[in-house]
Chains A and B, each alone.
Chain A
Amino acid sequence: MYCLFCHQLIEHGLSWQTILPKLDPICPNCAQLLAPIHLPTCDYCGRDDHISCLDCKRWRPSQLLCYNRSVFRYNTFLKEVIARWKFRGDYQLYALFVHSFQARFNQYFSELPKHTWLVPIPLSEKRLAHRSFNQAEALASLLPRTTVPLLKRLEGEKQSKKTRKHRLAMRNPFLYQGSQEDVDFAQPIVLIDDIYTTGTTIHHAAQRLRAAGHQKVYSFTLAR
């Protein structure tokens, strides 16, 4: 087997590992550069680096989100991996995270019912056509829950074209597109995305879902 990231041949040797049906396609060198989050220190955004959360002070009172959880720290290595995955479009790299992504989901969202819905953060049509895949959808497809496309993303203007004031109060780019008849508003929803940075994107999405009437919205991302 070859490492999906650096293409080195992985020598597992003859050990108990060889008889396991599935192994992560990542070599030990690359694997040690990933920083898994085991114990979140912030119960709201799920980070574990003990830095006091200014962003969370802002978001918490809005009560839009129950909480966010993430699998890895967004360190230099993961930045590089995600850039290659998203911007270069190296789709296959998702396989690096399959097991951890599934395991953390089960750990953090075990109390949610089986019929919980996953809502991947959408891309705008233009961007989707360019990239040929949506990384959030790819992540959602790894989890044993139903994916429901309740949101749509409008074409964004270029960041540089926005005035400062405009940028600060960033317009919510999402539209709600569920229909009253087939939606159960009591059903919990987990938003799925690749990165949670300032929390703006996730909260914009959550805001639309809450405004439509959904009562419980969580989020789960690959990186924090």
Chain B
Amino acid sequence: MREYAKRYAGRLLLRDEIELPDYQLQALIKRGYFKLKPALIKRYFTHQCQRCGNKARHLFGVISCSNCQTAHLYCRKCIQMGRVMSCSPLYYWVGPDPDWSATDKRFAWKGELTKTQSQASDRVCHAIANGVNELLIHAVCGSGKTEIVFAGVAQVLNMNKRVCLATPRADVVRELLPRFQSAFPTTSIVGLYGGSGANQKTAQLTLSTTHQLLRYDNAFDLMIIDEMDAFPYHADPSLPYATKKAIKPGATTLYLTATPRQDMINQSKTPTVFVPERYHQFPLPVPKSVLLLKCPDVTWPKVFWKWYEQRPIKRQVLVFIATINRTQCLLPLIQSRYPQARIEAVHAKDPERITKVDLFRAKQLDVLLTTTILERGVTFPAIDVVVLDAGHPVFDQAALVQIAGRAGRSKVDPTGEVLFFHDGQTIAIREAIRSIKKMNKKAKIGKE
């Protein structure tokens, strides 16, 4: 029964996901350990999927179902996680609570927090201890967000409670998993993302894409939402729904972001912690705005060659380009100009994307062209960053701040260059530069 509690508590599952034969499941239902609830319920003029919260009429389909011999609704919104249909209920565990206390919860992180970091870390622990529902952590890129929440996570794990860190992107789960595993070597930890192969596994500490959270209900005492401003979290209503559903009543939710959207700051009365300083205590590189007469879309501006060849320090260069199409036009041009240099390009649909990013991180590439997919989450120690046609609408303020935040992450070389090439400064460019300067100012004041 202990194992069942660990496997099923806090989850909302389809029959197929329970992986028990019928007679066993029936016995558990009879003993009152599992309960059932309807998967789709009627809501005024529409329906609502109880797993993903979908209410949009065009995202329900009608299936002529051979199991129940009727035609009825199913949810098309969350179908990639298995089909939710009105003739099959969802199952949830109401048996004994899982016991995670078996092993001692060693917190093995040996690093040291800066003064700014430890102030923020204390605020987190305080919020958890006092049952504060929500806390926004506005931390600049490279401030060490993960280390800031470690102490709070340890605190909750020690109380035999469950913790979840949710992020919109699978890359981030993959990157954070080993870091959490070495900080909490005796805690059960699972990383959930599409294609991880572990999506029916459970643990006391869960790192998950927001999508995979749809299978959870009333599970976590501490929820950490990373990059809450990032697409698709704020564009897709089912993701906030999923994170709300996954927490227990009285849980604490931490929102981590480097670029809170304006409406988030204006509307919410959420208490906010600022972390304006990077972990290495050097200021953020301020982007240089380079005005061109015309920003060519499929050729390189001459000033780029000039800059590339005359830089005093030859760092690796990450070049952000607005569209996949343009990366494909620009790649051969730069490769033929610098035949000895190792140059590649990546985009969201590139099957070799992970390999190329690893190569770049291992300094096996000199230049990497990319679309906005590498704008956040991934870190490279010491690089220069260039944005071509920074006035293009894909580069909004948050994207530009995140992109600029890729530079100067190394303690040894904390001052990478950031260049925005454009043919007319947009509001996004102006505001991005202004907000970076503002954070640097805040960090300076904090030190005095």
Contact = CB atoms under 8 A, between A and B. Distances in A.
A89 B16 CA distance: 14
Interface in A63-122: 84, 88-92
Classify the interface of chain B: helix, strand, loop or mixed: mixed
A7 interface: yes
A129 B64 contact: no
Contacts of A2: 58
Interface stretch (A131-139, A158-166, A200-208): A131-139
Interface string B79-90: 110010100000
A130 B80 CA distance: 15
Contact of B79 (A90, A129, A130, A133): A90
Given A7-B59, A134-B66, A138-B64, A89 B83 contact: yes
B85 A132 contact: yes
A133 B58 contact: no
A94 to B, nearest CB: 10
B420 interface: no
Contacts of A129: 66-67
B347 interface: no
B214 to A, nearest CB: 15
Contact of B76 (A90, A134, A138): A90
Contacts of A1: 58
A128 interface: yes
Given A2-B58, A132-B85, A92 B63 contact: yes
A91 B64 CA distance: 8
Nearest to A95: B61
A94 B62 CA distance: 11
A133 B66 contact: yes
Number of contact residues on A: which range applies?
10 to 19
B61 A91 contact: yes
B58 A88 contact: no
Nearest to B16: A130
A92 B76 contact: yes
A81 B64 CA distance: 19
Contacts of B67: 129, 132
A89 B79 contact: yes
Number of contact residues on B: which range applies?
10 to 19
Contacts of B80: 88
B93 interface: no
Given A129-B67, A132-B85, A134-B66, A88 B59 contact: no
A130 B74 CA distance: 15
Nearest to B57: A2
Nearest to B64: A133
Interface in A137-172: 138, 141
B65 A133 contact: yes
A132 B63 contact: yes
A145 to B, nearest CB: 18
B65 A92 contact: no
A127 B369 CA distance: 46
A107 B137 CA distance: 64
Contact of B65 (A7, A84, A90, A132): A132
Contact of A88 (B64, B66, B79): B79
15 contacts: A2-B58, A7-B58, A88-B79, A88-B83, A90-B61, A91-B61, A91-B63, A91-B64, A92-B61, A92-B76, A129-B66, A132-B66, A132-B85, A133-B65, A141-B64
Interface of B: 16, 58-59, 61-67, 74, 76, 79-80, 83, 85
Interface of A: 1-2, 7, 84, 88-92, 128-130, 132-134, 138, 141
- When A and B form their complex, which 6 residue pairs have the shortest distance between CB atoms, in order from nearest? A92-B61, A91-B63, A2-B58, A89-B83, A132-B65, A132-B67
